Structure 1
């Protein structure tokens, strides 16, 4: 493990550590204890899934054909929710794997209404897996247990989450605190702060850390936000430390729960602000249009994301509304001319 040079670390780097786990820092109000109305609404909603427009997703055959056609390029593929395949310099990175029908234990919890763009059996060999936190829609236990090639996969996790993978047969598990980095292949992967929380049950809230990730490569710099609320300081600091990113994957859905007092995810407008503050060139919406987790209409996050980008002066080419299963070429910036260009539409 290598640490980021001290000069780019916040003086408050350890203040997210507390005696019984972790907290957001700078301090933000803790997520409330959710009342019965919230849970009843989520259970009820799972019985009435939205009608999904056909132009929101590709069939798996279409997705695989597109992925194979671009297999030798640097690409981004949206599997759904916060799950991406990122092909960079011949290596494949998988983010926050969620492939199950439900985001919860025992076939319960928010229900998926669009199948994964590419199913597990058709995935390419995975070289690197990035985990932002342990919520069910970001860390799929069944998938983690069943994925082949565990002995070859380098898994990057926040603090206290390593055992989840080693107990399931993974060998190369790198557990990082905020602002720590690790170099693998020709990538430097860094864990960065977010505003969120963790937990998979009734008694483990905030026992493991949560984070976002940067991936710095010879051909580009990429940011994966995981889950986060907005912070007026964190993302500006990330932008100051890293100067710019060629592409940022940003949460744009699950803001409909704010009427229950829950503010753990950014709105599309806040996501655009985060992308601007970290210096992103290309903005990709994620964490929307996949599972029944919130009250906003299925396509509203994408519409608001596009409109917010336009209002901020971004071009259509800079704000990506991807179909589930779609693969696009990673963008080129002036500093990384060796990369594949554009974005296949």
Structure 2
């Protein structure tokens, strides 16, 4: 077993040896997970108990029609563009997370921002949490690179195997868990953190790319972008200990049914609410719902359930549910 990291980047956790790696894949030793094709087949051939409700559910997230944030270079803000894609402006820099702004093979997009991808201006950094197709897309990435002067793409270890041929001479910096990307001391600081997930784009590339979350810090503001994750209390507790003042937690809430297939990689809304509590963040911004039909639950169910769970936890006022393209000022 070897332990991989970027030797040019510092660790924020001194006792972390790097991410375990064996036989061409990153290993998840504490709780191994492998997507079993038998479970996928079971999902495909089994009746969906929510099928009737799903067919009747035509809800999609509302869309804010104007994009005044395009030319706002002064304020700190978050804008949700659907699924796991956010534009985050912090400390004078503009970031976009997990940019996928079109449909995927066999999976149409249900809601889109009111502009072309190429219209998004002033991006400085692209953040990619892992290489699943609903988080990393060639066409979207190329459009963003063509129309912005990107300083760096920040991503997990191994991401060069997926995107190097797409990005030309754009700088790609990869990190392992608990590593801080190279930024000037006057700039926002970004750290790559652990999640409970996996990666794959084809049949034979399981876990050749790492997966994880990002923490962005500037002055007195801290943002947690959770990528994709199952509920792993240890990961969230460690994150809370290392970053005890998270202001905004951007957490996934959808694609959880059936649980026998999804629970190893995705949280349901109640689990996401628990993760938010463990992180101790001030505000919860849900994501990974309402944009693509990836699982058995009705499209509106994740949002309804997370609203109910936050009410039950007496935290409803901390839940922020922006429209697609609506600005949340920090």
Instruction: Output the TM-score relative to the length of structure 2.
Output: 0.86
Partner of 2:152: 154
Shift of residue 322 of structure 1? Answer: 2.0
Q: CA deviation at 1:207?
A: 1.0
Rounded to whole Å, the distance in 1 between the matches of 2:71 and 2:264 is 40
Q: How does 1:257-268 map to 2 (within 5 A)?
A: 257-260=258-261, 263-268=264-269
Residues 149, 184 of structure 1: alpha-carbon distance in 2 compared, 3 angstrom cutoff: farther
Q: Corresponding residue for 1:77?
A: 79
| Alignment CA distance shift 1:89-1:15 (3 Å) | closer
| CA-to-aligned-CA distance 1:114-161 (integer Å, 9 cap, x gap) | 123543122122101110100000001111123225653311111111
Deviates more, 1:91-100 or 1:155-164: 155-164
> 1: CA distance between counterparts of 2:78 and 2:177?
25
Residues 197, 206 of structure 1: 8 Å contact kept: yes
Contact persistence 2:196–2:264 (CA under 8 A): no
In structure 2, which of residues 8, 11, 24 is the aligned counterpart of residue 4 of structure 1? 11
For 1:82-121, list aligned pairs within 5 A: 82-102=84-104, 108-116=105-113, 118-121=115-118
Match of 1:341 in 2: none
Distance 1:31 1:82 in 2: 21
Q: RMSD of the alignment, in Å?
A: 2.5
Listed one character per residue, the Cα deviations across residues 60-87 of structure 1 (whole Å, up to 9, x for unaligned) are xx1414x358553111101000000001
Q: Partners of 1:20 and 1:310 in 2: how far apart?
A: 44
Taking a change above 3 Å as real, the CA distance of residues 32 and 242 of structure 1, as seen in their structure-2 partners, is same
Structure 2 residue runs without a partner (length 5+): 1-7
Q: Which moved more, 1:124-133 or 1:157-166?
A: 157-166
Q: Could you tell me the TM-score, scaled by structure 1's length? A: 0.82
Q: Which residue of 2 aligns with 1:129?
A: 126
Listed one character per residue, the Cα deviations across residues 261-281 of structure 1 (whole Å, up to 9, x for unaligned) are: 653101111112112212211
Q: Give the corresponding residue for 2:206.
A: 205
Alpha-carbon contact 2:138-2:163 (below 8 Å) kept: no
Cα distance in 1 between the residues matched to 2:157 and 2:138: 18
How many residues matched? 313
Q: 1:9 to 1:301 in 2, by over 3 A?
A: farther
Q: Which runs of 4+ in 1 moved over 6 A?
A: none
Tell me if the contact between 2:78 and 2:329 (Cα under 8 Å) persists in the aligned partners: yes
Which whole-Å CA distance do the structure 2 matches of 1:237 and 1:289 have between them?
A: 30
Kindly indicate whether the alpha-carbon contact (under 8 Å) linking 2:256 and 2:297 is maintained by their aligned counterparts in 1: yes
The residue that corresponds to 1:64 in the other structure is 67
